[in-house]
Amino acid sequence: MSALRITKLKDGEEIVFGPIRSTQTSALSVRASDEGEATHTSQRTVCVSNRRVIVESGDAVITLPNQDVKRVVIKQNTSKTDANTFNLLRVESKFGQKIKLEIPGIGLERQAELAAIFPYAAVGARRGLLGWLEDLLGD
């Protein structure tokens, strides 16, 4: 079974980071004669292959070629149990798109691999006041 629901990997393409699946459930307002609750659940799958970033959300797919990524934002974990790992937070394209990834628990030894997968990108953590505000308020 494929790790992705919609996207087909190309010849020679393999997933390097991920896939990470997340679900979000929200309440729906429904007007009906029978009172009850309704919910909507959406699933999001994120991964990085050796050729592109892939995000599947519902029936929609976003792909971004790795050579179009200009910045990769990571955050090194500081807890004692996860001290040798980092989280892959997001990528930013040369066109100004920001794609939230939230791939946790990547070993520090894989930072060189991350830099090789994104050859034209700066890989680093959020820094300064802007980074602190992004951490506080979210992306």
pLDDT digits (tens, 9 = 90+) for 80-102: 888 899 999 999 999 999 999 99
Ordered domains of the chain (ranges, CATH): 15-137 (2.30.29)
The band of 38, judged by pLDDT with boundaries at 50, 70 and 90, is confident
What six digits make up the tokens of 26? Answer: 């929200």
The CA distance from 65 to 48, in Å, is 10
Predicted TM-score (pTM) of this structure: 0.83
Tokens standing for 110? 């894989």
Q: pLDDT (tens digit, 9 = 90+) per residue, 1-32?
A: 468 999 999 999 999 999 999 998 988 877 77
